[in-house]
Structures are given as C-alpha cells and as structure tokens.
Chains A and B, each alone.
Chain A
Amino acid sequence: MADAFVLGSRPVYTGTHVTRRQDDALLSGRGAYVADLRRDDMAEIAVVRSTVAHGRIAAIRTAEAAAVAGVIAVITAADLTDVSPYPNFASAYTQTPGTFPLAQDKVRYVGSPVAVVLAENRYIAEDAAELVEVDYEELPAVTSLEDALDPDSPRLFEHWPNNRLLDLQPDDSEAAAILAGNRVLRRRYKMGRHTAMPMETRACMAEVRDGRLHLWCTNQHAHIARTTLSYVLPMAERDIRVVIPYVGGGFGLKQHLYPEDVVASWLALRHGRPVRFVEDRAEHMIAAAHARDHMVDIEAAIADDGRILAMRVQVVQDLGSAEIFPGAWCPALTTAAHMTGPYDIGHCAVSVAAVATNKTPGGSYRGFGVPEAVFALERFIDEIAAEVGVDRLDLRRSMLLQSEDLPYKTASGALLDSGSFAESFEKVVELGEAAHRRAAAQHGTDQQSRVGVGYAVLFEGVSPTHHGASAHWAGHESCSIEVLPDGGVRVASGVTDQGQGTTTFVATLAADALGVPIETVEVELADSDSTPYGLGAFGSRQAVIGGGALLLAAGEVRDKVKRIAAHMLEATEDDLVIEAGRVHVAGSPEPAVTMAAIATRAVIRTMDLPPGMAPGLEATARYEPELMEHVPDERGRINASASYANAAHAAVIRVDLGTGEIEILDYILAHDCGRVINPPIVDGQIWGGIAQGVGGALYEDLRFNDLGQPQTAFMDYLMPSALEMPEVVIKHFESPSPNTPLGMKGVGEGGTVGPAAAIGNALAHALAEFNPQIRETPLSPAVVRAMIPDRGAAT
C-alpha cells in the first residue's frame, strides 16, 4: 500500500529547510487576519454574557440597548426561531447538552452568550450591551469534577440522570484478578485547567453575496465548519462558503464552531450587511474553549522489582458546561488510550467519565488528553521506584518496548508499528544525567536551592480519526492538483494553516512528487469553494493524511505527464525522469520536454495528445489510512490513530527553597516523528509545544471560586514568555512508519505532552529529602513552597 506514496524523482526539497511561505507576509505585517477584513457597510457585534455560573433566565430586557443610536438589532435565543441546536451524533453513548448558540432558559457558565447587540461598530455595540438587563434566578453551581461526580450534586441538565455526559465502564475482570493476587499501589493525579491562548483570538466575518453566505473565520476546518453551519442554519450547504484567512494560532481551540460564528452568520442573513465579530481577550478568557482539568486514578499490581503487571484506571474529565461543538469528551478517551505508555503492560482496564460543571466548556487543545496520561503514568512510575526501592531509570528500562517488540498492540488497542522508545530514552538519560551533574556542580553548595532531573518517555497517537470527537466525521483528507498550460502547478487541499507551516509542506511535497521547481507550485487551502472536502487541522494529522492524499493525486498527474512526454520524446515511460520541470530519459538530460510543453498539449493542443488520451492534466485524490479505526471494539479497544510518534523528555531544574520557584536549567527532548519534511518547522513545533507544556506544568491556571466565578484574568494567566523558556536541546530519531505515506508521523503535539511529567519528576528528585507529594499541576511556586519545611528554607 505504502508503495503508492512515493516522491517522483530524487527529492530536492523534502527533508531540507524550505523557507516558510507565509513568513514574508506575516513578518512584514501584510498578512490579513479576520480582524483586518473590512467592508464599507460592515457592522459589528458585542455579546452579552452570563454573569452567573448557573441560573434560570427570568427576563431579558433589551429595549434600552436597542434605542442606542447606531444599534441595528439586539437579539436573544427567542429570535433565532429558524436555528437548530448543534447536533449530537454520539447520543448512543453520551448525554446531549442540546447546545444552542444563545442561552435558552438557563445559563450554565459565566460567559455563556445570552444576547447579542449588532451595531455600527464595536464601541457602540459594547455601550449598548451594557444596557441589556438580564434577571437570573440563581442556582447552586457545580464547580469541580469531584462535585459533579456526586450523585446529589445539582444537575446542569434536568433531562440527564446525573452530571455525567459520558460514563464508560469496560470489563476490568482480567486486571482485577491480577490486582487481587499482587501488591497494589494506588495514586491519584490531577492536571489543572488551562487553555491554548492563541495570539489571535477568535473572529469571524459573515457576508451575504448573491444569496450565498460567505463566512471568513478562524476555524481550523473550512469544510466541517460549512457542514455544521448547514446543520444549524436554515441554509443549504451549497449556499455556504467558509474561508479561513491568516490565523494566529489554533492549537485545537479553534476546532470548535462557536456560537458567535452562527449568530454573526444569522445576523448577516437577516440584515443584509456584513457582520464581524472579533473576540476580545477578556471574552476569550471565559468563552473560548478551556482544556485539561482531568483526574486520573491508578491502581496497579506491582511485581517485586516494581514492574507494572496490570492497571485499573479511572479517568475523569471536567467538561465545564459541555455546551460546545464538537463535544469535548474525546480527550478523556485519548487519556485512556495512552495509559500504558510505551511500556509492555499487558493488562490495563480504563473507565472513563466526563462530567458537566458550571465552568467554561472544555474543548480541544494541543496534546488532547495525552499530557494527562503521561503526567499520571510517569509520575506513578517514579513513585513506584521510590516505594519499592528500585532505580527509576532501570524500572523504565525493564518495561520499555524494544525495537524487537514491534509491531506491538497496546492493551488499549493502539498499534505501535515503529518507534525508538528505548533509544530516545537512553539518549535523553545520557544528556540529562550530564546536565544534572553540571547543575549540581554549579549550584550544589547553594543552601537556598536544590537541583534535580526528571524524565518522561511517551508515545502519542497522531493522525487520529475525528470520529472519537464528533461521532460523525472519520479520517480522510483530500487533494486536487492541476498543471496549468505554462507548467505551473495549482494544488488545492482540505488541510488548513494556522501558522504552523502547512502551506509550506504542501508545496514541498508537491514539488518533489511532480519534479518541478517549488516556485512554480501555488497552494490553495481553506476555502470551501475552491478546495476539495477535507477535515483540516487536528491531531497532528495534516502532513500524514493530507500528504498521503497529495502523493496519490501527484502520482496520477505524474503518470500522465510521463505518458505524454513519452509520446513527445518517442521514448518509453519507464525510462523517463522528471527533474526541475523537465522530462527526459534517465541519464541523458537532452532531449527533454518541459512541463509547460506537456501541459499545453494536455489542455490546449489536445489534438497532439497520444491517440485516445483524454484531455487535461489534473487529479483529485482522497486518502483515509486503512489501519485507522473509528469505533472501539466491545472491550473499548481501538487503534484510533494512523500512526504513533514517540518522544523522551528530560528536565533539569533548580528549586528556590525560599520562594518555591522552579527554574528550568536544561530541557532535553528526543523526538521521533518518522520521516522529517522540514527540519526547522519540526524544531519549531517542538519548541512551541514545550512552551505550552511548560505553561501547563508551572504557570497557567484557570481557577473558579465556589460560586463558579472565574478567578483568572488575562493578567493572571501566565503563559511562559521567551524569558521563562530554557534553552532546549532537541535530538531527532527517524523511525519511519511502514504504514504511512513516506513513513511520516505527526509532530504537532509531542513537545506539549511531556513537560508536566518530566518537570514533576525533576521536582520529586530535587526535593527528595522532604518526600513531597507531586500529583497535581500546575506546580506553582506557592504549591512547591508548601512542600518545603520552613527549616529547609533557612540559610
């Protein structure tokens, strides 16, 4: 199968540093984001958001706001009579929140959209929004996952039996039997609530032209967004066009089709004027998807040497109000699928619950459930080592999968077909131990601090099915390639670019697959009118699956190029090569025919084509990996991803005993994403991923009080800046997958997945004398300081 996915000739660009296509526009400020789009008659919206976490809406008074000069309309859910709730395709195994763009009857989180003001500009819209009065009958709020699990907690949705949107209890008898006969260790780990915080907030602009709705938006999927709009708006899908202009970071947060996208579209249709929404940062803090907020309970049967014989795990995810589309329970399933790590743990039964609370809806975020699994498991292994009295590195070595174990099917059904689990681990151990020795030599005599090193080793499913999240879409991607008469190439694909370099890899693979100069390749993405239906950006999938579709389409075009060239050169197709846009017999550069001559013949001088050959030089292909499964078996096992990347992390830290501050002295990561297309882009993905992982491990924390009021303003939401980031040493391993195009695996998330675990383990190492309990993130200075007795802090 993989034979179909080949680059045409000797690759010129693949594996090299091809400059990112958007950098020029972006770095010179010429890239147009949604907020840069303007129309003469454009109006803007401001959203009236719930100020209470849980309550019934008794009354909404809009008259005063509607009377403000410059206000065009003030609407509530009652006005959206022709709008349908977002569908729930997973109703067979989940409860349905019945999410509607504006709150109907009840509000379930602070920030929930209640009314929308449409005005001549955002200033007027905000002035008027202040005048909308909403009366709430407040209800007790459910603000933690522990509360939500309590069967007596107030229900967010009266038609649910409890607050569990998802509650899967697989048969755990096998694991239970092993637990019954062995030493058992139990631990609970929690990962706090944080969010992607892209530099660009959410935004959209809706415009009606010739009876069709055009929506420019920041969503990560042009086609899924279009389809979803057709489900909720009274519009045929053919009458909707979704365009995604430049986007300042998605990271999963922009996977969801948010209420404002629907309301702006509805208002544009109703009022016949372009309508723009640009979310401000204060709204973003409470109305864009939050993430993580997981609890993982592990019970494991332990051998005398510490090896894990079997695990029984309960994963609970706090969904917030769950009013989001697509639903947000899939990270919990992903946590479950990663609980064994890259270790030979034959028995692992994971139950999964996802609960609704009166907080901002959770959603997708880079890592998507894997950081939670890795933090729990890797901390757990260090805790086993301490408990049993074995070396934490040797304990990992005794369980890590070796290359001769591959392919290996994990207890949760993931097919690890390739990888460098042990090799990448040994590399970071070598570098980590050396860095720790340097740190100890430098800081060892400092009584006010301690140094430590911690490790995490992991696999992560990449290029997953979308079915886990949507229960609707599956996993394919698409690509169309057309060669124009002058030999230039137009590539249109369903993949999208949020700034991560998608456009560049598409151009790179297309140029090498067709044997043309990369400058002659034009890439068209993210316009649902001009690209074939694809699923877009999520799950580190685009290079693997989008790349696969591209290679299939390019192969068809390449074959036809050769057939035409063979006819023109009076040669045999099999003897021909395509290089730098010219086709000639291998080994003799002359005579040659150019791509322009071939394409001219294919679409203009079609009478000169070989007899019987159809005109045209183009192809559209779709690719869905065969091994990707969409629905789990009866025991919950599923190979949900087309591929699995792996990584090993090491963090060397210094802990200030006086303040509890953690300084990362060295960060070392060995990463394996199979075949690398663009090394600097891969490094950039890893750097950015580590920064977001460090943010979650140490800094970022979205807190709510007992009333469900958000406590974290943007000022208090501490993303690490360049000044907080350590130097990172990246080591590459390349274990190509036998089952993916070119052996590629995704690289978007591996950096994000490991830092909490590696830093947590480093902290345990640094503070071993105090026997700290490190089972939650973020490890803020206050939390760390509480692990240190005051005497320990004395100079």
Chain B
Amino acid sequence: MKPPPFLYCRPRAVDEALAVLAEHGDEARPLAGGQSLVPMLNHRLARPGVLVDIGAITELQRMERRASDWLIGATVTQRRVERHSLEGCELLSLAVPFIGHRQIRARGTVGGSIAHADPAAELPAVALTVDATMVAAGRDGQRAIGASSFFAGPYMNSLADGEILSHVIFPVLPSTTRCSFKEFARRKGDFAVAGVAAAVDITDRVVSKARLTAFAIGSNPVRLPGAEGAIVGRSLDAADLDTAAEAAAAEIEPWDDIHGSPRYRRQIVAALLQRALQEVAP
C-alpha cells in the first residue's frame, strides 16, 4: 500500500493550478482534502503522474452568504460547514455529520466530495436535492453546471479535461421548506448502504413542492419523481407515507453489493423515506 512515484505541486492560485493541469493533461489530478484520492493512490487504483494540491489556493476557501445563496469554495472543509450552521442550507447541515468521522471531515472538502462523485457520498445527494450549481474553472473562464447534469456516473463528473471545481452554490431555501436527511450505514461514519434526502415545501399544511432524493443505491444519487408526485398536495398522513415509500421503492434500480441486495435497498429506502417524511410532515 505505497503509491507509485508521482510529482507533487502546490500552486497558490487557480490560474497556476490550471496551467499545471494543462501542461500534464491526463497525467495530472487535483488533490483537495485527499480523503478519497490518497487511499486510492496507496491501493494503486489511481496512478496520476502529477498531483496538483489545490489546498493552498485561498480563493477556493471562500464561504459567503450572498443575496439568495451560499457560495462555498471547493476546498472549504466539511468540518467548517458543520461548525457554521448555514442559515437557509438546513439540508447541508443535516447531511454533513454523516460524512465519515470528525477527523475525516476536518480534512475532507465540499468540492472534493462532490467532484469525486462517490455514489454513496452525502454531498452529491444534497446538491441534487436542492439544485446546487457547480462552478467549474477552466483556462477559458468559469462555467456553471447544474446538479442534474454534473454527476456522470460512479466516480465521474462532467468537468472537462483541465477544469477544476471552483465552488458550489447552494440556494437558500425559503422558511417554508422543511428538510430531512436519513441514511443507513452499517457503523457510525461508514459509507451509506442507502440514504434519502428530502426538501419539502409545506403551504397551508399540505405539500406544495417536494424534492426527494435517494443515494448509495446506484451510480449517482437520483431524484424520486414518483414519490414526489405522490405527496404533492397531500398532508403527509400515514397512508401518504406508505404510498410515497412504495413509489420510491418501485422507481429506483438499486445495485447489489456485499452490504445489500437490490430488494434490501428498496426496503431500506422505503423505510428511510417514511421516516424522513414523518419528520417534515406538518
């Protein structure tokens, strides 16, 4: 478990990082908190010739409340998000404590986790649920990528060659939105076996808008349109919860691994969604 040889550089500015990435092409990989990439290096599952450590670039460490959203720089640590409860970003605050352990969150970054696109990771699910925007920096400037098109498969994102994730924009949700985040992991801090995120707008004691996401069940987190449709206009009584859970179980196509069969993942998504909706019910 020793990595093959690699070159390491630690640029101070985004432009500098982009220049190094451009120079080395496929050989180069950006390194943020290293909580996924370093184990992959040690297992020789990733073998970049050049590691571009973006941890010293101060502009990637911004965390700002703007008019209607939060801008979170790619290398803001998960622990920093955890320690500031970001007003209007309740789902993010609920999800972050599920990421690994405190030591991991102290190094792991928001951008690193989203760019890594681990199917079982919490932040991609949050991003998808609240329609966060990922902003990529490239040699031609910045471009915005919506969450629904950012995740391109397991451990794959839609950043172009030579681009890095600069920051993520999380919209501030209205006070009528209630959020819940549930995941089932075998031990505290493990990757989820399955999880759900819910952001539900309640108006006059009924659901006016529902954004429901399941994750750790397949390549990327997925929205649950069937379950969303089942609860819009409803008051979330016990029967509504059952219907939504059944719809969610039916509409996902879970994968199979050592911790659970597709059937089992459907069962836990159903159970977790019921509990999430119970929590947000008026």
Q: Which A residues fall within an 8 A CB radius of B? A: 122-123, 126-127, 130, 280-282, 448, 656-661, 699, 701, 703, 711-712, 715-716, 718, 720-721, 723-724, 780-782, 785-786, 790, 793-795
Residues of B within 8 A of A721 (CB): 187-189
CB closest residue in chain B, given A786: B264
Asked if residues A130 and B44 are in contact (CB atoms below 8 Å), the reply is yes
Asked if residues B267 and A790 are in contact (CB atoms below 8 Å), the reply is yes
CB closest residue in chain A, given B190: A718
Asked if residues A793 and B271 are in contact (CB atoms below 8 Å), the reply is yes
Asked if residues B187 and A720 are in contact (CB atoms below 8 Å), the reply is yes
CB closest residue in chain A, given B274: A795
Asked if residues A658 and B261 are in contact (CB atoms below 8 Å), the reply is no
Of B43, B44, B259, B268, which is within 8 A of A658 by CB? B268
11 A-B pairs (CB sep. < 8 Å):
A122-B2, A126-B2, A127-B5, A282-B43, A658-B270, A658-B275, A716-B258, A718-B190, A723-B189, A795-B238, A795-B278
Of B1, B193, B278, which is within 8 A of A281 by CB? B1
Asked if residues A785 and B267 are in contact (CB atoms below 8 Å), the reply is yes
Residues of A within 8 A of B190 (CB): 718
Q: Closest CB-CB distance, A779 to chain B, in whole Å?
A: 12
Residues of A within 8 A of B242 (CB): 794-795
Asked if residues B258 and A280 are in contact (CB atoms below 8 Å), the reply is no
Asked if residues B274 and A711 are in contact (CB atoms below 8 Å), the reply is no
Asked if residues B187 and A723 are in contact (CB atoms below 8 Å), the reply is yes
Interface string of B165-189 (1 = CB under 8 A from A): 0000000000000000000101111
Residues of B within 8 A of A790 (CB): 267
Query: In the complex the two chains form, what is the Cα distance from A280 to B1 in whole Å?
Result: 6
CB closest residue in chain A, given B260: A782
Query: In the complex the two chains form, what is the Cα distance from A149 to B4 in whole Å?
Result: 43
CB closest residue in chain B, given A127: B4
Query: In the complex the two chains form, what is the Cα distance from A610 to B9 in whole Å?
Result: 79
> Which of A658, A780, A785 neighbours the largest number of chain B CB atoms within 10 Å of its CB?
A658
Query: In the complex the two chains form, what is the Cα distance from A122 to B3 in whole Å?
Result: 10
Query: In the complex the two chains form, what is the Cα distance from A280 to B2 in whole Å?
Result: 9
Query: In the complex the two chains form, what is the Cα distance from A780 to B260 in whole Å?
Result: 9
Residues of B within 8 A of A130 (CB): 4, 44
The 5 residue pairs across chains A and B that have the minimum distance between CB atoms: A658-B271, A280-B1, A723-B188, A782-B264, A123-B2
CB closest residue in chain B, given A790: B267
Residues of A within 8 A of B248 (CB): none
Query: In the complex the two chains form, what is the Cα distance from A280 to B43 in whole Å?
Result: 10
Q: Closest CB-CB distance, A288 to chain B, in whole Å?
A: 14
Interface string of B259-282 (1 = CB under 8 A from A): 111001001101110110010000
Q: Is B241 an interface residue (CB 8 A)?
A: yes
Q: Closest CB-CB distance, B171 to chain A, in whole Å?
A: 31
Query: In the complex the two chains form, what is the Cα distance from A715 to B271 in whole Å?
Result: 25
Majority secondary structure of chain A interface residues (helix, strand, loop or mixed): loop
Asked if residues A659 and B184 are in contact (CB atoms below 8 Å), the reply is yes
Q: Which B residues fall within an 8 A CB radius of A? A: 1-2, 4-5, 43-44, 184, 186-191, 193, 238, 241-242, 258-261, 264, 267-268, 270-272, 274-275, 278
Query: In the complex the two chains form, what is the Cα distance from A130 to B3 in whole Å?
Result: 12
Residues of A within 8 A of B5 (CB): 123, 127
Q: Closest CB-CB distance, B124 to chain A, in whole Å?
A: 19
> Which of B186, B193, B238, B275 neighbours the largest number of chain A CB atoms within 10 Å of its CB?
B186
Asked if residues A711 and B258 are in contact (CB atoms below 8 Å), the reply is yes
Q: Closest CB-CB distance, B46 to chain A, in whole Å?
A: 15
Asked if residues B258 and A712 are in contact (CB atoms below 8 Å), the reply is yes
Q: Closest CB-CB distance, B212 to chain A, in whole Å?
A: 17
Residues of B within 8 A of A793 (CB): 267, 270-271
Known: A658-B272, A703-B258. A718 touches B1 (CB 8 A): no
Query: In the complex the two chains form, what is the Cα distance from A785 to B270 in whole Å?
Result: 13
Residues of B within 8 A of A711 (CB): 258
Asked if residues A718 and B2 are in contact (CB atoms below 8 Å), the reply is no
Residues of A within 8 A of B191 (CB): 715
Query: In the complex the two chains form, what is the Cα distance from A448 to B2 in whole Å?
Result: 46
Residues of B within 8 A of A656 (CB): 271
Residues of A within 8 A of B261 (CB): 782
Query: In the complex the two chains form, what is the Cα distance from A122 to B42 in whole Å?
Result: 12
Asked if residues B238 and A782 are in contact (CB atoms below 8 Å), the reply is no
Query: In the complex the two chains form, what is the Cα distance from A785 to B44 in whole Å?
Result: 36
Query: In the complex the two chains form, what is the Cα distance from A656 to B184 in whole Å?
Result: 11
Residues of A within 8 A of B274 (CB): 658, 795
Query: In the complex the two chains form, what is the Cα distance from A701 to B186 in whole Å?
Result: 12
Q: Closest CB-CB distance, A795 to chain B, in whole Å?
A: 6
Q: Closest CB-CB distance, A269 to chain B, in whole Å?
A: 26
Asked if residues B187 and A699 are in contact (CB atoms below 8 Å), the reply is yes
Residues of B within 8 A of A122 (CB): 2
Query: In the complex the two chains form, what is the Cα distance from A751 to B82 in whole Å?
Result: 38
Residues of A within 8 A of B258 (CB): 701, 703, 711-712, 716
Asked if residues A659 and B268 are in contact (CB atoms below 8 Å), the reply is yes
Asked if residues B268 and A795 are in contact (CB atoms below 8 Å), the reply is no
Known: A716-B259, A782-B264, A785-B264. A724 touches B188 (CB 8 A): yes
Residues of B within 8 A of A780 (CB): 186, 259
CB closest residue in chain B, given A711: B258
Residues of A within 8 A of B4 (CB): 126-127, 130
Q: Closest CB-CB distance, A600 to chain B, in whole Å?
A: 56
Q: Closest CB-CB distance, B134 to chain A, in whole Å?
A: 27
Q: Closest CB-CB distance, B231 to chain A, in whole Å?
A: 15
Known: A123-B2, A281-B1. A781 touches B186 (CB 8 A): yes
Of B184, B186, B238, B270, which is within 8 A of A718 by CB? B186
Asked if residues B271 and A659 are in contact (CB atoms below 8 Å), the reply is yes
Query: In the complex the two chains form, what is the Cα distance from A130 to B261 in whole Å?
Result: 34
CB closest residue in chain B, given A657: B271
Query: In the complex the two chains form, what is the Cα distance from A282 to B267 in whole Å?
Result: 32
Residues of B within 8 A of A794 (CB): 242
Q: Closest CB-CB distance, B117 to chain A, in whole Å?
A: 17
Q: Closest CB-CB distance, A202 to chain B, in whole Å?
A: 14
11 new A-B contacts, CB < 8 A, other than A659-B272, A701-B258, A790-B267, are A126-B2, A127-B5, A658-B271, A658-B275, A659-B267, A699-B187, A720-B187, A723-B189, A782-B259, A782-B261, A785-B267
CB closest residue in chain A, given B43: A282
Residues of A within 8 A of B184 (CB): 659, 661, 781
Q: Closest CB-CB distance, A211 to chain B, in whole Å?
A: 33
Q: Closest CB-CB distance, A110 to chain B, in whole Å?
A: 16
Q: Closest CB-CB distance, B38 to chain A, in whole Å?
A: 14
Q: Closest CB-CB distance, B144 to chain A, in whole Å?
A: 34
Residues of A within 8 A of B43 (CB): 282
Residues of B within 8 A of A785 (CB): 264, 267-268
Q: Closest CB-CB distance, A53 to chain B, in whole Å?
A: 17
Residues of A within 8 A of B259 (CB): 716, 780, 782
Query: In the complex the two chains form, what is the Cα distance from A716 to B275 in whole Å?
Result: 26
Query: In the complex the two chains form, what is the Cα distance from A711 to B260 in whole Å?
Result: 13
CB closest residue in chain B, given A712: B258
Q: Closest CB-CB distance, A604 to chain B, in whole Å?
A: 55
Query: In the complex the two chains form, what is the Cα distance from A789 to B189 in whole Å?
Result: 29
CB closest residue in chain B, given A719: B187
Query: In the complex the two chains form, what is the Cα distance from A785 to B244 in whole Å?
Result: 20
Q: Closest CB-CB distance, B35 to chain A, in whole Å?
A: 12
Q: Closest CB-CB distance, B141 to chain A, in whole Å?
A: 39
Q: Closest CB-CB distance, B36 to chain A, in whole Å?
A: 11
Q: Closest CB-CB distance, A111 to chain B, in whole Å?
A: 14
Q: Closest CB-CB distance, A157 to chain B, in whole Å?
A: 30
Query: In the complex the two chains form, what is the Cα distance from A794 to B44 in whole Å?
Result: 45
Query: In the complex the two chains form, what is the Cα distance from A790 to B274 in whole Å?
Result: 13
Residues of A within 8 A of B189 (CB): 721, 723
Q: Closest CB-CB distance, A520 to chain B, in whole Å?
A: 42
Residues of B within 8 A of A658 (CB): 267-268, 270-272, 274-275
Asked if residues B187 and A718 are in contact (CB atoms below 8 Å), the reply is yes
Query: In the complex the two chains form, what is the Cα distance from A281 to B43 in whole Å?
Result: 10
Query: In the complex the two chains form, what is the Cα distance from A494 to B264 in whole Å?
Result: 52
Query: In the complex the two chains form, what is the Cα distance from A734 to B114 in whole Å?
Result: 57
Query: In the complex the two chains form, what is the Cα distance from A701 to B193 in whole Å?
Result: 16
Residues of B within 8 A of A127 (CB): 4-5
> Which of A280, A711, A782 neighbours the largest number of chain B CB atoms within 10 Å of its CB?
A782
